[in-house]
Amino acid sequence: MADGRLVVAGIAFLIAAIIFVPGLLTSNLLVAVPFPAIAAAFVAAPQPPLDAAWLDVVPSSLWGRAEAVRSFARNLLQSFAPLLFGYVPVSFGGPGPNQTAVVGHASHQAAATVGRGLEYTFVIMLASMLVGGVLLLLSRRTYLVMWPQPTFPKRPAKGFQRAATGFQKPAEGLGGGPRKIKPGQN
């Protein structure tokens, strides 16, 4: 199964998103904590197969440059992730930068609003994980079709070397390996 790397990664993303949902739906902390912990393991599981698939697709002469570009892009996008994760709850009605919770009767209402915005944020991020898993599974059709596996030439018969290299069959009884012949010599 040549596309097994994509299958493992896609299914792991789908399982991670599905396992995380019960942790969002429950209000009991002891019940909720194991679900994100297990989901985190499934989020980390696709990395080795995706790295191997990346090596299949990128020509070996470009591995260094491609890894540099990939690392730069990954670090850049990961640096914006906390900002995005903080902005989305605020856009769903959480307190903004100048809106602090008032001490007293309104503080529990502001905390509930922030909690609801954070819950929506997790749902949005889970939806993107589901889409990523589905896209990985759909990409199986084109994986390694565009980049066929290399074919290797057949090896010459045992004891014979290619004529272009200037080697010949070893002499019988001498016990040596192939010997170099000079041009014009039989």
What's the pLDDT tens digit per position in 94-134? 655 545 545 455 555 555 555 677 778 888 889 999 999 99
Share of the chain above pLDDT 90, in %: 31
* Distance (Å, whole) CA 110 – CA 128: 27
What's the pLDDT tens digit per position in 11-25? 999 999 999 999 888
Domain boundaries defined on the chain: 4-141, 155-186
Give residue 28's pLDDT.
Answer: 87
Q: Is the pLDDT confidence value at 160 over 60?
A: no
- Give φ, ψ of 181 to 5 degrees: -110, 150
Q: Is the pLDDT confidence value at 40 over 90?
A: yes
